[in-house]
Amino acid sequence: MSERRSILTTAAMFEPCALTATAAALERTLRDAGPARIVRQALRTLGRGRVAVVASYGTASVALLNIVAAVDPTIPVLFVDTGWMFDETLDDHDALASRLGLTDVRTVASLPAALAAFDGWIDGTSPDDERADPPIVETDGLRLKFNPLARLTRDSVDGYFARHALEGGHPVIAA
């Protein structure tokens, strides 16, 4: 089966600096943007069906999914099932997706294989995660990676989660 590639991804195969330059330009443009604007820009840059959200089971991912659902609930969402998840955890993510109205949720065993179908991805990386100051837009070498929560603190993500929480700890879509 052949993959459909965007012009951006095809260009990056022949000129990797082009993808890096695109990421740097988007980083400058989005440096003061809020999470919803960053998600909208990912869609504008790559196109519908060419960008996916990678979600885990943590508070930041739940907040991110709430934002994504408010922007466009048709964006594909990839949940990685390590094979070690409790049935209750998997049921919770199904319930969350349903509650948020997400229409394309995929449980995948391999993130690299699942991402091969996309030109970019949206992640819930925040400053308190892996790096002190993660970029808003970067490249993984093959794709653009958007980090809408990059400029938020752990306290602001937790506060967002608490403000939008329902019974069971799942958020409602922000107004």
Query: Sorting pLDDT into bands at 50, 70 and 90, what band is 45?
Result: very high
Q: Give the pair of three-digit tokens for residue 6.
A: 């965007």
**Parallel, antiparallel, or unpaired: how do β-strands 137-139 and 144-146 relate?**
antiparallel
How much is the average pLDDT of 78-107?
A: 86
CB–CB of 28/162 below 8 Å? no
pLDDT score recorded for residue 1: 34
More reliable by pLDDT, 7 or 22: 22
More reliable by pLDDT, 57 or 171: 57
How much is the average pLDDT of 11-26?
A: 80
- Taking only the tens place, the pLDDT of each residue in 127-174 is 665 566 789 999 998 899 999 999 888 787 777 777 765 445 554 444
CB–CB of 153/128 below 8 Å? yes
Q: Domain residue spans in the chain?
A: 7-168
**CA distances (Å), origin 19, targets 13, 72, 122, 142:** 9, 25, 16, 8
Within 8 A by CB and 6+ apart from 121, the residues are: 51, 52, 53, 54, 78, 115, 140, 143, 144, 145, 146
CA nearest 160: which of 58, 97, 66? 66
The CATH number given to 7-168 is 3.40.50.620
